[in-house]
Amino acid sequence: MNHKEIKQSGHYTPSPLGEGKGRGLFPGSFDPFTLGHADLVERGLRIFGELIIAVGYNERKAGWIPVEERVRALTEYYRDEPRVRVVSYSGLTVELAAQLGATAILRGVRNSQDFLFEQTQADMNSRLSGIDTILLPTRHDLACISSSSVRELAHFGHEISEFLPEGLHYDLPSATVDAREQ
């Protein structure tokens, strides 16, 4: 499903609070961006008036998909959603949040291990800058999907399009990543 179809599916329920307010920051490597990530963006838009997808990179680590391509593909994917912006960054997430005027950080948790890790990160981010982190549990049908598991499947030649949002396309020289076509 693409982000428009999610709103039309049974998985989208408008917030009783109305349209979101404030500016959320959704950081991650998004290497690749999965159905779980797309679901968190849709749910995040019910909380925030604007959501910034922050594609983080570490210059000491090579990513699977080049960071510029991740940003390009996500910008294209969300081109019709004016409340979503995509940026890249390296460094501390709290510094980016302050620079962009984010009111909170959005993170997803798939399981108890994710929760413990994210809680520790949220505590440190709060201590460093005072920013709050909103942890959203992943929908149960998406909990098994992670970027690392998708990369592993692709490494062994498995078709991965079922784990990626429909309409998200990465332009790469080789056909290592080919998200669902529209």
Residue 124, domain extent: 3-163
Q: Is residue 170 part of a domain?
A: no
Q: Are 54 and 67 in contact (CB under 8 A)?
A: no
| pLDDT of 128 | 96
| pLDDT of 16 | 43
Pairing of strands 132-137, 104-109: parallel
Cα dihedral 89→94→96→99 (10° resolution): -170
Q: Rounded to two decimals, what is the model's pTM? A: 0.84
Q: Is residue 60 part of a domain?
A: yes
Q: Is residue 68 part of a domain?
A: yes
**Could you read off the pLDDT tens digit of each residue along the chain, which spans 182 residues?**
555 555 555 554 444 444 678 999 999 999 999 999 999 999 999 999 999 999 999 887 778 999 999 999 999 999 999 999 999 999 999 999 999 999 999 999 999 999 999 999 999 999 999 999 999 999 999 999 999 999 999 989 899 999 999 999 998 655 444 444 33
Q: Is residue 178 part of a domain?
A: no
Q: Is residue 182 part of a domain?
A: no
Residue 109 burial (C-beta neighbours within 10 Å; 0-12, 13-18, 19+): middle
Identify the CATH number of the domain in which residue 39 sits. 3.40.50.620
Residue 111 burial (C-beta neighbours within 10 Å; 0-12, 13-18, 19+): exposed
Q: How many domains does the chain have?
A: 1
